[in-house]
Chains A and B, each alone.
Chain A
Amino acid sequence: MSAGRGRSRARRLESLALNLACVVVALFILAPFAWMLICSVAGEAELTRRPPVFVPAPPTLANYAFIFTGQMPSDRTRHGIFVWQTSHEVRLLLPALRNSFIVALSVMAANVVFGALAAYSFARVAFHGRRSAYVFILTSRLLPAVAVAIPFYAIVQRLELLDTYRALVLVYLAFTFPFTVYFLSVYFRYLPAEVEEAALLDGCTRFQTLLRVVVPCAVPGLVAAAAFAFMTAYNEFLFALLLTQTIAAQTMPVLLAAVATNPAVSHALLAACVILAIVPPAILAVVLRRYLTSGLVASVAR
């Protein structure tokens, strides 16, 4: 009896400790976001104080208002340095987000369509050169990004695509296709082959089989592949920095890096930019976390 109670108390203590540890980790993960959120509704003067104002009261939407409308805050004291030295770069956040979306969605769509087509052939169709083509695609990813930066630039320049969406889409496809093909071909291989064979016997072509039989079964895999492609494209920085020069194609990470490395930056304003910029991937990460988890595992095991 008493031994049992002792054990249950130990278990309760242990569960308490574990929960506490979870909370600590969650705090580490969430606190930076929370602080950015707080900064984004504060005045610059409240942040450039020692110590800063931890809870701005009342919260102000002036930073967001500036990003959306260009309206300078009226409260000069509260917004301090913001008033006399503000780069208009932050006003470009919305166009930059639009660019990011256009590029990321294009990359995502191309990955799902072409990636699935190729992956299915690699998974199920026997053809001459299959293995070497597969290995070639996979090993292409072993080239580190920094090492191919200048040549990528040269290609894009020669195609006269600098500062266009198409350039970024092409480069990101080169980065995302290998993973998508690998990931989906593994996924397809684990689907039961019998249904497909039945469809083929019924006179379906390979393409029809893929479209009518495989795709409906593979939705989770396709969603994960799509989300991955989207995120890679949405988050990429180095090539966006190299290949785009104006807001005609500049994506969000490039714009934010420019704003953040500007010594005259208003941190309150920058925080508002960050919050706006991380909403899309944050939603993806929470909503699709199960799909992403399986994808992440595969990505390391490549």
Chain B
Amino acid sequence: MTKPSLYPYATILPVMLVVAVFTVYPLLHSVYLSVHENVLTRPLDNDFVGLQNFREVVTGYYFWRSLWSTAVFAVMAVAAVTLYGLGVALLLDQAVLGSALLKIVVLLPWAIPAVISGIIWRWIFDGDYGVLNGLLLVTGAVERYVPWMSQTFSARLCMVVAHVWKQGPLAAVFLLAALQVIPAELYAAARIDGAGRWNGFRFVTLPYLKATLALVLIYETIVAVATFDLVYVMTGGGPADATAIIGWYAYTEIFRFLNLGHGAALAIILGVLLLGLVMVYLRLLRAEEAT
């Protein structure tokens, strides 16, 4: 590398160009929108309104309801995905026939669109003709069909199941990678010390997985908070506003209330929220790399 050549710049140019156009401009545009009046049914009012959109969004009780719904969904989804992922990862780490077979299919749900995952599960949980109700009825577990999607708690639960089914494989594979680097001698040593399976897990596996688990937790939180596709096809935010999580709320502001100013303000709030989570995430990652 004797003289500065154009080669590296030429090679990164296409990538830089696309990324820059779709990063810098959207940021500026969002900020612009969020400080202007912009309601589609009043095309002529486009005044600068300062922080009014933010004020209106934040003081609207719908916003707090949706924040609450988002928090509830995120907590349920993240806990479930992580536990499920951990369980599956531990299974995949075993030297049994079943685990080899499981490895073949485990990625399937992750590979298909979230929209389809939503469609499949909505049909399974359908209160009128869902197969879950059908099976429960046949086995005598219920006396009559249960309208799973019509009640706040069960509707949220249905969404979490669909979410776990789709997102779980990612967590599982990631935790599996962490499991596989745990030196086997440690387990052997633990066994010599008379530790059973549980204690092996408790005192060898868990400490090793701690950092990875934290990463999974935060990554999954980001994914859960930004969920949109599932709501769109499964619940449309209902019943009432039980599943109107913040991404869906932003969509409603834009496409149903036709208020782009509110939509942009919400999007920025959501962006800052996620950015905060990502910062925590990056800090943890760096801490892990340091160890």
- Give the interface of A toward B (CB within 8 A): 15, 18-23, 25-26, 28-30, 32-33, 35-36, 39, 47-52, 54, 110, 114-115, 117-118, 120-122, 125-128, 130, 133, 136-137, 140, 142-152, 154-155, 170-171, 173-174, 177-178, 181, 205-207, 231, 234-238, 241, 252-253, 256-257, 260-261, 267, 270-271, 274, 277-278, 281-282, 284-286, 289, 292-293, 296-297, 299-301
Contact = CB atoms under 8 A, between A and B. Distances in A.
Contacts of A238: 228-229
Given A143-B26, A151-B25, A282 B108 contact: yes
A155 B22 contact: yes
A283 to B, nearest CB: 9
A48 B130 CA distance: 9
A223 to B, nearest CB: 15
Contacts of A145: 226, 228
A281 B111 contact: yes
Q: Is the interface of B mostly helix, strand, loop or mixed?
A: helix
Of A36, A236, A252, A300, most B-chain CB atoms within 10 Å: A300
Contact of B9 (A127, A155, A173): A127
Of A126, A140, A144, A234, most B-chain CB atoms within 10 Å: A144
A29 B91 contact: no
B18 A177 contact: yes
B215 A301 contact: yes
B110 A150 contact: no
B96 A15 contact: yes
Contacts of B271: 143-144, 147
A121 B115 contact: no
A128 B30 contact: no
The 9 closest A-B CB pairs, nearest first, are A22-B98, A51-B134, A151-B26, A285-B111, A174-B22, A151-B29, A147-B271, A19-B98, A235-B113
B19 A136 contact: yes
A55 B14 CA distance: 53
Contacts, number: 285
A111 to B, nearest CB: 9
A173 B17 CA distance: 11
Contacts of B112: 235, 277-278, 281-282
B237 interface: no
A231 B131 CA distance: 29
A142 B7 contact: no
A144 B226 contact: yes
Interface residues of B, number: 97
Given A50-B145, A257-B115, 18 more contacts: A26-B101, A29-B169, A50-B134, A117-B11, A122-B12, A146-B226, A146-B270, A147-B267, A147-B271, A150-B30, A171-B22, A174-B18, A235-B111, A267-B123, A270-B123, A285-B107, A293-B177, A296-B110
B270 A260 contact: no
B98 A237 contact: no
Interface string B72-99: 0000000000000001100100101111
Interface of B: 1, 4-5, 7-9, 11-12, 14-16, 18-23, 25-30, 33, 87-88, 91, 94, 96-99, 101-116, 118-124, 128-129, 131, 133-135, 137-138, 145, 165, 169-170, 173-174, 176-177, 215-216, 219, 222, 226, 228-229, 232-233, 236, 246-247, 250-251, 254, 260, 263-264, 267-268, 270-271, 274-275, 278, 285
A118 B14 CA distance: 8
A155 B137 CA distance: 52
B232 A257 contact: yes
B7 A26 contact: no
8 contacts: A15-B96, A36-B123, A117-B11, A144-B267, A144-B270, A235-B111, A257-B119, A261-B236
Of B26, B114, B263, most A-chain CB atoms within 10 Å: B26
Given A238-B229, A285-B107, A300-B170, A32 B101 contact: no
Contacts of B118: 260
Contacts of A207: 7
B215 A148 contact: no
B137 A51 contact: yes
Given A147-B271, A261-B233, A300-B170, A285 B110 contact: yes
A74 to B, nearest CB: 23
Contacts of A118: 11-12, 14-16
